A and B are shown apart, each in its own frame.
Chain A
């Protein structure tokens, strides 16, 4: 993730050369940091599948989806960091657990393949609505990152839906595993659509996640039912990821993500 001095990342158009436009306003940076953390944490979890997926094509697929998400994380963290003069690497590798603002869904352990598909289904459907709305952000940089991400997360959702149907409508055993995966992930759906403590201050630069719930509810439950599965009736988890509250599994995951950069600060290859 090292950038040479030659590069000014997150430039928007050839016309917006003014350097001032590349520094995120503080409120927008605070909001973007949460989105960047979401993408980074999920990218890391997907990366854990490489060499472990049920077939080679899925190693490649989950790796590719993770790579797209890592790209979103890099753009968002770079932009957030511009407000505080911190690089994407400093934000990714040198913050502690309580400083991460990612929703708890994304840090959930991979479980079996069906649980990962359930997590990815919810995540992709959320990202599709989020980035579609954020493309209209009054912050030009966030709007550009979102417009680019929109095209990618559409494709990710398609991948999850295909597996949802294949497993849900497959054998009795695959159906049972897919349902268990949905049941395990569903408590973390609610948090995605609660008030974001940083969105309000960013005004029309941000998206209020509460406005995205209707579209999510109009899509995902229908997809689940079409796959012969049941929408889980489980109470929501307490949440609090945006405020730095994380599940037990988050710490070990973060340690693995950060260990190299902390053991060898500034290392490159």
Chain B
């Protein structure tokens, strides 16, 4: 169970469920809940407040997500919807759900490596090819088609693929 849901009223849970249907426009298999971008909802009389956190400071997708949240909740009958961008604590890929990671891999994007516990030596581990599963892969570019991705190529099946950077 998502720890962010603790303490929400039944009505707020209903708001959460609607907001949680909004997807990342650049990675449409992931909902903003999967991504860890959806942080909190609050119902105060007729006013709904939804807190989201940007993945990267300049990520343009945040504006689309904000509009989609307003649109989804308006359609569901909530008239006064406010979306707040929360900067702290800063988003991290550690907040991505395990469902989100599985969906990413099925979509052809290698999910972010998980934190190994903060050892002294920062070793780059092999990124698994989402197509053939090989660990024999190579980074083509540290920057990819969006802020959150890097470009890799598989040395075994020769397919290029996106890697969702650990952040």
Contacts and interface: CB of A to CB of B under 8 A. Distances in A.
Nearest to B80: A6
Interface stretch (B28-36, B56-64, B127-135): B56-64
B42 A14 contact: yes
B85 A7 contact: yes
Interface stretch (B10-18, B96-104, B111-119, B141-149): B141-149
Interface stretch (A91-99, A146-154, A222-230, A240-248): A146-154
Given A14-B39, A57-B151, A158-B142, A147 B90 contact: yes
A187 to B, nearest CB: 29
B141 A57 contact: yes
Interface string B38-71: 0110100000000100101111100000110010
B84 interface: yes
B73 to A, nearest CB: 10
A14 B8 CA distance: 13
A77 to B, nearest CB: 12
Nearest to A66: B58
Contacts of A9: 85
A253 interface: no
B88 A144 contact: yes
A8 B90 CA distance: 17
Nearest to B60: A67
A79 to B, nearest CB: 10
A70 interface: yes
Tell me whether chain A's interface is mostly helix, strand or loop, or mixed. Answer: helix
Interface residues of B, number: 33
Interface in B119-167: 140-145, 147, 151, 167
Contact of A148 (B40, B51, B57, B81): B57
A74 B88 contact: no
Nearest to B53: A148
A13 B42 CA distance: 13
Nearest to B145: A60
B86 A14 contact: yes
Contacts of B147: 64, 67-68
A64 B143 contact: yes
Contact of A68 (B56, B87, B142): B56
B140 A57 contact: yes
Contact of A60 (B70, B86, B87, B141): B141
What are the 7 tightest A-B residue pairs by CB atom distance, in nearest-first order?
A71-B57, A71-B58, A144-B88, A57-B141, A67-B58, A61-B143, A144-B87
Interface of A: 4, 6-14, 57, 60-61, 63-65, 67-72, 74-75, 140-141, 143-145, 147-149, 151-152, 155, 158-159
